[in-house]
Amino acid sequence: MSESIPAELFVLLRTARHVVVLTGAGVSAESGIPTFRNKMMGLWERYEAEELARADAFRRDRALVWGWYEWRRKLVMLAQPNPAHLAIAALAERTPRLTVITQNVDDLHERAGSRGVIHLHGEIQRPRCFACNRPFAFGPGIPDEPEGGRRLEPPRCAHCNGYIRPGVVWFGEMLPQDAWKAAAKACEACDLMFVVGTSALVHPAASLPEIAARRGVPTVQVNPNATALDDVMRFNLTGAAGEIMPRLL
Ligand code: BV8
Ligand code: ZN
Protein backbone atom coordinates (compact mmCIF):
# COMPACT_ATOMS: atom_id res chain seq x y z
CA MET A 1 0.00 0.00 0.00
CA SER A 2 1.62 3.28 -0.95
CA GLU A 3 1.60 6.19 1.48
CA SER A 4 -1.66 7.80 2.64
CA ILE A 5 -2.97 10.96 1.00
CA PRO A 6 -2.93 14.00 3.32
CA ALA A 7 -6.45 15.06 4.44
CA GLU A 8 -5.52 18.65 3.52
CA LEU A 9 -5.28 17.58 -0.12
CA PHE A 10 -8.89 16.37 -0.13
CA VAL A 11 -10.00 19.77 1.23
CA LEU A 12 -8.03 21.53 -1.51
CA LEU A 13 -9.60 19.25 -4.13
CA ARG A 14 -13.12 19.89 -2.89
CA THR A 15 -12.67 23.67 -2.89
CA ALA A 16 -10.57 24.08 -6.05
CA ARG A 17 -12.07 26.22 -8.83
CA HIS A 18 -9.55 25.43 -11.57
CA VAL A 19 -7.35 22.32 -11.41
CA VAL A 20 -4.49 21.70 -13.85
CA VAL A 21 -3.17 18.17 -14.42
CA LEU A 22 0.17 17.98 -16.26
CA THR A 23 1.01 14.44 -17.38
CA GLY A 24 4.03 12.64 -18.83
CA ALA A 25 4.80 9.14 -20.06
CA GLY A 26 4.29 7.71 -16.55
CA VAL A 27 0.52 8.19 -16.78
CA SER A 28 0.45 5.78 -19.75
CA ALA A 29 2.99 3.33 -18.29
CA GLU A 30 0.26 1.12 -16.75
CA SER A 31 -1.38 0.98 -20.18
CA GLY A 32 1.76 -0.77 -21.43
CA ILE A 33 3.25 2.21 -23.29
CA PRO A 34 7.00 2.30 -22.59
CA THR A 35 8.29 5.50 -20.98
CA PHE A 36 11.35 7.30 -22.31
CA ARG A 37 13.47 6.73 -19.22
CA ASN A 38 13.37 3.00 -19.33
CA LYS A 39 14.83 1.15 -22.27
CA MET A 40 12.32 0.81 -25.09
CA MET A 41 10.67 -2.59 -24.93
CA GLY A 42 11.65 -5.26 -27.43
CA LEU A 43 12.81 -4.22 -30.86
CA TRP A 44 14.17 -0.81 -30.13
CA GLU A 45 16.17 -1.27 -26.94
CA ARG A 46 19.40 -0.25 -28.68
CA TYR A 47 18.10 3.24 -29.56
CA GLU A 48 17.69 6.25 -27.29
CA ALA A 49 14.44 8.19 -27.83
CA GLU A 50 16.46 11.39 -28.00
CA GLU A 51 18.30 9.90 -31.02
CA LEU A 52 15.17 9.04 -32.98
CA ALA A 53 12.78 11.86 -31.92
CA ARG A 54 14.65 14.38 -34.08
CA ALA A 55 14.18 15.93 -37.55
CA ASP A 56 17.79 15.15 -38.53
CA ALA A 57 17.21 11.48 -37.69
CA PHE A 58 14.19 11.52 -40.04
CA ARG A 59 16.28 13.22 -42.75
CA ARG A 60 19.06 10.66 -42.30
CA ASP A 61 16.89 7.55 -42.12
CA ARG A 62 13.19 8.32 -42.59
CA ALA A 63 12.18 4.65 -42.76
CA LEU A 64 13.83 3.89 -39.38
CA VAL A 65 12.12 6.85 -37.69
CA TRP A 66 8.78 6.17 -39.38
CA GLY A 67 9.05 2.47 -38.41
CA TRP A 68 9.69 3.48 -34.79
CA TYR A 69 6.62 5.71 -34.68
CA GLU A 70 4.42 3.12 -36.40
CA TRP A 71 5.57 0.59 -33.77
CA ARG A 72 4.61 3.09 -31.05
CA ARG A 73 1.30 3.91 -32.77
CA LYS A 74 0.46 0.22 -32.85
CA LEU A 75 1.17 0.01 -29.08
CA VAL A 76 -1.10 3.03 -28.50
CA MET A 77 -3.94 1.61 -30.61
CA LEU A 78 -3.75 -1.77 -28.82
CA ALA A 79 -3.54 -0.09 -25.40
CA GLN A 80 -6.44 0.88 -23.15
CA PRO A 81 -6.72 3.93 -20.90
CA ASN A 82 -5.73 2.90 -17.35
CA PRO A 83 -7.31 3.91 -13.99
CA ALA A 84 -5.15 7.05 -13.92
CA HIS A 85 -6.55 8.34 -17.24
CA LEU A 86 -10.07 7.41 -16.11
CA ALA A 87 -9.68 9.10 -12.70
CA ILE A 88 -8.41 12.31 -14.34
CA ALA A 89 -11.44 12.31 -16.67
CA ALA A 90 -13.77 11.66 -13.68
CA LEU A 91 -12.13 14.46 -11.67
CA ALA A 92 -13.08 16.91 -14.42
CA GLU A 93 -16.74 16.03 -13.89
CA ARG A 94 -16.45 17.05 -10.23
CA THR A 95 -14.39 20.22 -10.61
CA PRO A 96 -15.69 23.56 -11.91
CA ARG A 97 -12.76 23.63 -14.34
CA LEU A 98 -10.00 21.08 -15.03
CA THR A 99 -7.32 21.45 -17.71
CA VAL A 100 -5.30 18.43 -18.83
CA ILE A 101 -1.89 19.32 -20.27
CA THR A 102 0.06 16.35 -21.58
CA GLN A 103 3.56 15.76 -22.95
CA ASN A 104 2.33 12.43 -24.32
CA VAL A 105 1.58 11.93 -27.99
CA ASP A 106 -0.94 9.12 -27.34
CA ASP A 107 -4.72 9.65 -27.26
CA LEU A 108 -5.40 7.74 -24.03
CA HIS A 109 -6.61 10.82 -22.14
CA GLU A 110 -9.19 11.44 -24.90
CA ARG A 111 -10.20 7.77 -24.98
CA ALA A 112 -10.70 7.93 -21.19
CA GLY A 113 -13.11 10.84 -21.67
CA SER A 114 -10.95 13.91 -21.09
CA ARG A 115 -11.86 16.83 -23.33
CA GLY A 116 -9.82 19.80 -24.53
CA VAL A 117 -6.54 18.02 -23.79
CA ILE A 118 -3.56 20.26 -24.51
CA HIS A 119 -0.85 18.26 -26.36
CA LEU A 120 2.41 20.16 -25.84
CA HIS A 121 4.38 17.70 -28.00
CA GLY A 122 1.84 16.87 -30.70
CA GLU A 123 -0.11 13.71 -31.41
CA ILE A 124 1.03 10.44 -32.95
CA GLN A 125 -2.39 10.03 -34.63
CA ARG A 126 -2.03 13.32 -36.55
CA PRO A 127 0.89 13.00 -38.98
CA ARG A 128 1.62 15.73 -41.51
CA CYS A 129 3.72 16.39 -44.59
CA PHE A 130 7.38 17.15 -43.78
CA ALA A 131 7.54 19.48 -46.80
CA CYS A 132 4.22 21.38 -46.95
CA ASN A 133 2.88 20.64 -43.44
CA ARG A 134 -0.53 19.51 -44.75
CA PRO A 135 -2.19 16.97 -42.44
CA PHE A 136 -2.21 13.33 -43.53
CA ALA A 137 -5.00 10.91 -42.56
CA PHE A 138 -4.07 7.36 -41.60
CA GLY A 139 -6.19 4.61 -43.11
CA PRO A 140 -8.31 2.50 -40.76
CA GLY A 141 -6.84 -0.40 -38.78
CA ILE A 142 -3.67 -1.16 -36.90
CA PRO A 143 -0.37 -0.26 -38.57
CA ASP A 144 1.39 -3.34 -39.86
CA GLU A 145 4.46 -4.22 -37.84
CA PRO A 146 7.50 -2.93 -39.80
CA GLU A 147 9.01 -6.02 -41.45
CA GLY A 148 11.90 -7.00 -39.19
CA GLY A 149 10.48 -4.47 -36.73
CA ARG A 150 12.78 -1.77 -38.04
CA ARG A 151 12.28 0.24 -41.21
CA LEU A 152 9.04 1.28 -42.88
CA GLU A 153 8.90 3.82 -45.73
CA PRO A 154 6.69 6.78 -44.75
CA PRO A 155 3.73 7.55 -47.05
CA ARG A 156 3.93 10.48 -49.50
CA CYS A 157 1.87 13.68 -49.47
CA ALA A 158 -0.98 13.67 -52.02
CA HIS A 159 -0.45 17.39 -52.59
CA CYS A 160 3.31 17.85 -52.97
CA ASN A 161 4.68 14.28 -52.87
CA GLY A 162 6.74 15.16 -49.76
CA TYR A 163 7.34 12.56 -47.07
CA ILE A 164 4.78 12.25 -44.27
CA ARG A 165 6.30 12.73 -40.80
CA PRO A 166 4.91 11.92 -37.33
CA GLY A 167 2.70 14.74 -35.99
CA VAL A 168 4.90 15.17 -32.92
CA VAL A 169 7.28 17.91 -31.72
CA TRP A 170 10.84 16.63 -32.11
CA PHE A 171 13.81 17.74 -30.00
CA GLY A 172 15.03 21.10 -31.27
CA GLU A 173 11.59 21.96 -32.68
CA MET A 174 9.32 24.69 -31.31
CA LEU A 175 6.23 23.67 -29.41
CA PRO A 176 2.91 24.58 -31.07
CA GLN A 177 2.41 28.18 -29.96
CA ASP A 178 -1.31 27.83 -29.24
CA ALA A 179 -0.75 24.76 -27.06
CA TRP A 180 2.10 26.40 -25.16
CA LYS A 181 0.15 29.61 -24.59
CA ALA A 182 -2.96 27.73 -23.41
CA ALA A 183 -0.85 25.60 -21.06
CA ALA A 184 0.97 28.58 -19.53
CA LYS A 185 -2.34 30.46 -19.18
CA ALA A 186 -3.94 27.53 -17.33
CA CYS A 187 -0.97 27.36 -14.93
CA GLU A 188 -1.28 31.12 -14.33
CA ALA A 189 -5.01 30.76 -13.55
CA CYS A 190 -5.25 27.47 -11.61
CA ASP A 191 -5.58 27.11 -7.86
CA LEU A 192 -4.36 23.50 -7.67
CA MET A 193 -1.89 21.67 -9.94
CA PHE A 194 -1.11 17.95 -10.26
CA VAL A 195 2.03 16.73 -12.04
CA VAL A 196 1.62 13.05 -12.87
CA GLY A 197 4.23 10.67 -14.30
CA THR A 198 6.90 12.97 -15.63
CA SER A 199 10.63 13.06 -14.98
CA ALA A 200 10.44 16.81 -15.69
CA LEU A 201 13.65 16.78 -17.74
CA VAL A 202 12.32 18.10 -21.05
CA HIS A 203 11.91 21.84 -21.46
CA PRO A 204 9.98 24.05 -21.73
CA ALA A 205 7.22 21.65 -20.48
CA ALA A 206 9.16 21.04 -17.26
CA SER A 207 8.95 24.72 -16.38
CA LEU A 208 5.12 24.74 -16.17
CA PRO A 209 4.85 23.51 -12.54
CA GLU A 210 7.11 26.40 -11.51
CA ILE A 211 4.53 28.88 -12.86
CA ALA A 212 1.94 27.55 -10.39
CA ALA A 213 4.40 27.02 -7.51
CA ARG A 214 5.71 30.59 -7.85
CA ARG A 215 2.14 31.83 -7.35
CA GLY A 216 1.88 29.88 -4.08
CA VAL A 217 -0.62 27.48 -5.66
CA PRO A 218 -0.59 24.01 -4.03
CA THR A 219 1.26 21.56 -6.31
CA VAL A 220 1.04 17.77 -6.10
CA GLN A 221 3.44 15.32 -7.73
CA VAL A 222 2.41 11.70 -8.36
CA ASN A 223 5.39 9.51 -9.23
CA PRO A 224 6.92 6.29 -7.87
CA ASN A 225 10.41 7.77 -8.25
CA ALA A 226 12.26 10.96 -7.37
CA THR A 227 12.27 13.66 -10.03
CA ALA A 228 13.73 17.09 -10.70
CA LEU A 229 10.54 18.56 -9.20
CA ASP A 230 10.73 16.97 -5.74
CA ASP A 231 11.85 20.21 -4.06
CA VAL A 232 9.37 22.38 -5.98
CA MET A 233 6.18 20.46 -5.23
CA ARG A 234 4.22 20.97 -2.01
CA PHE A 235 2.94 17.36 -1.93
CA ASN A 236 4.87 14.34 -3.23
CA LEU A 237 2.64 11.27 -3.49
CA THR A 238 5.00 8.36 -4.03
CA GLY A 239 3.38 5.62 -6.05
CA ALA A 240 1.86 4.61 -9.36
CA ALA A 241 -0.63 6.99 -10.99
CA GLY A 242 -3.08 4.13 -11.62
CA GLU A 243 -3.11 3.43 -7.89
CA ILE A 244 -3.07 6.98 -6.48
CA MET A 245 -5.28 8.98 -8.86
CA PRO A 246 -8.44 6.88 -8.27
CA ARG A 247 -7.99 7.36 -4.52
CA LEU A 248 -8.27 11.13 -5.00
CA LEU A 249 -11.85 10.64 -6.17
C1 BV8 B 1 12.81 23.32 -27.81
C2 BV8 B 1 7.41 14.08 -28.70
C3 BV8 B 1 14.01 25.03 -28.76
C4 BV8 B 1 8.21 13.15 -29.55
C5 BV8 B 1 9.03 14.91 -27.07
C6 BV8 B 1 19.44 21.77 -22.10
C7 BV8 B 1 18.68 22.31 -21.09
C8 BV8 B 1 17.33 22.58 -21.27
C9 BV8 B 1 16.72 22.29 -22.48
C10 BV8 B 1 17.49 21.75 -23.47
C11 BV8 B 1 18.82 21.48 -23.30
N12 BV8 B 1 19.29 20.93 -24.45
C13 BV8 B 1 18.28 20.84 -25.35
C14 BV8 B 1 17.19 21.36 -24.77
C15 BV8 B 1 15.90 21.51 -25.35
C16 BV8 B 1 15.16 20.18 -25.37
C17 BV8 B 1 15.22 19.47 -24.05
O18 BV8 B 1 14.51 19.82 -23.12
N19 BV8 B 1 16.11 18.45 -23.98
C20 BV8 B 1 16.23 17.69 -22.76
C21 BV8 B 1 16.55 16.22 -23.11
C22 BV8 B 1 17.35 18.30 -21.92
N23 BV8 B 1 13.79 20.56 -25.63
C24 BV8 B 1 13.39 20.67 -26.90
O25 BV8 B 1 14.08 20.43 -27.86
C26 BV8 B 1 11.98 21.21 -27.10
N27 BV8 B 1 12.05 22.27 -28.06
O28 BV8 B 1 13.39 23.51 -26.78
O29 BV8 B 1 12.92 24.14 -28.88
C30 BV8 B 1 13.78 26.06 -29.73
C31 BV8 B 1 13.70 27.36 -29.26
C32 BV8 B 1 13.54 28.34 -30.19
C33 BV8 B 1 13.45 28.03 -31.56
C34 BV8 B 1 13.52 26.70 -31.99
C35 BV8 B 1 13.68 25.71 -31.07
C36 BV8 B 1 11.08 20.14 -27.68
C37 BV8 B 1 10.95 19.01 -26.69
C38 BV8 B 1 9.89 18.07 -27.17
C39 BV8 B 1 10.53 16.77 -27.60
N40 BV8 B 1 9.48 15.80 -27.91
N41 BV8 B 1 7.99 14.10 -27.36
C42 BV8 B 1 7.98 11.72 -29.20
O43 BV8 B 1 7.19 11.42 -28.27
O44 BV8 B 1 8.61 10.88 -29.85
S45 BV8 B 1 9.71 14.80 -25.53
C46 BV8 B 1 9.29 13.32 -24.85
O47 BV8 B 1 10.22 13.07 -23.82
C48 BV8 B 1 7.97 13.32 -24.14
O49 BV8 B 1 6.99 14.04 -24.83
C50 BV8 B 1 8.28 13.90 -22.80
O51 BV8 B 1 8.22 15.30 -22.83
C52 BV8 B 1 9.72 13.50 -22.63
C53 BV8 B 1 9.78 12.32 -21.70
O54 BV8 B 1 9.50 12.82 -20.47
P55 BV8 B 1 8.39 12.11 -19.56
O56 BV8 B 1 7.06 12.23 -20.20
O57 BV8 B 1 8.61 12.68 -18.24
O58 BV8 B 1 8.75 10.59 -19.58
P59 BV8 B 1 10.01 9.94 -18.88
O60 BV8 B 1 10.15 8.57 -19.44
O61 BV8 B 1 11.16 10.89 -18.94
O62 BV8 B 1 9.59 9.82 -17.35
C63 BV8 B 1 8.53 8.98 -16.99
C64 BV8 B 1 8.22 9.32 -15.56
O65 BV8 B 1 7.09 8.54 -15.18
C66 BV8 B 1 9.36 8.95 -14.61
O67 BV8 B 1 9.54 9.99 -13.70
C68 BV8 B 1 8.84 7.69 -13.90
O69 BV8 B 1 9.29 7.63 -12.58
C70 BV8 B 1 7.36 7.94 -13.94
N71 BV8 B 1 6.53 6.73 -13.89
C72 BV8 B 1 6.82 5.50 -14.35
N73 BV8 B 1 5.75 4.68 -14.13
C74 BV8 B 1 4.80 5.44 -13.52
C75 BV8 B 1 5.29 6.74 -13.37
N76 BV8 B 1 4.58 7.73 -12.80
C77 BV8 B 1 3.34 7.43 -12.36
N78 BV8 B 1 2.79 6.19 -12.47
C79 BV8 B 1 3.49 5.18 -13.04
N80 BV8 B 1 2.94 3.95 -13.16
ZN1 ZN C 1 3.05 18.02 -48.81
Q: Provide the Cα torsion 225, 206, 104, 36; round to 10°.
A: -50
Tell me the ligand closest to 132's alpha carbon. 2
Residue 174 above 60 pLDDT? Answer: yes
Q: How far is it, in rounded angstroms, from Cα 173 to Cα 249?
A: 37
Query: Ligand 2: distance of its center to the CA of 129 in Å?
Result: 5
The pLDDT of residue 1 is above 70 = no
Domains of the chain, each with CATH number or no CATH:
1-33+81-126+171-249 (3.40.50.1220), 35-78+128-165 (3.30.1600.10)
Round the average pLDDT of the chain to a whole number and report it. 94
By CB atoms closer than 10 A (0-12, 13-18, 19+), residue 60 is: exposed
At 115-161, the pLDDT tens digits run 999 999 999 999 999 999 999 999 998 887 765 568 899 999 999 99
Q: Which atom of ligand 1 is nearest to the CA of 103?
A: 49
**pLDDT over 80 (residue 168):** yes
Query: 85, 119, 121, 159: which is the annotated catalytic residue?
Result: 121
Instruction: Spell out the residues 6+ positions from residue 242 whose beta carbon is closer than 8 angstroms to its own.
Output: 30, 82, 83, 84
Counting ligand 1 atoms within 8 A of each CB, the residue from 171, 180, 201 with the most, and so the one to mutate, is 171
Q: What is the pLDDT of residue 143?
A: 82
Residue 125 Cα to ligand 2 middle (Å): 17
Say how many residues make up the chain. 249
For the CA of 160, the nearest ligand: 2
Please give all residues whose CB falls under 5 A of ion ligand 2, grouped by chain where several chains appear.
129, 131-132, 134, 157, 159-160, 162
Contact between residue 139 and residue 59 where contact means Cβ atoms under 8 Å apart: no
Banded model confidence at residue 41, pLDDT cuts 50, 70, 90: low
Q: What is the pLDDT of residues 195-217, one digit of tens each?
A: 999 999 999 999 999 999 999 99
Q: Is 159 a catalytic residue?
A: no
pLDDT of residue 49: 83
CA of 182 to the centre of ligand 2 (A): 28
Going by alpha carbons, the residue nearest to atom 73 of ligand 1 is 26
Taking the CA of 158 as reference, the closest ligand is 2
Q: Is 221 helix (H, G, I), strand (E, B) or coil?
A: strand
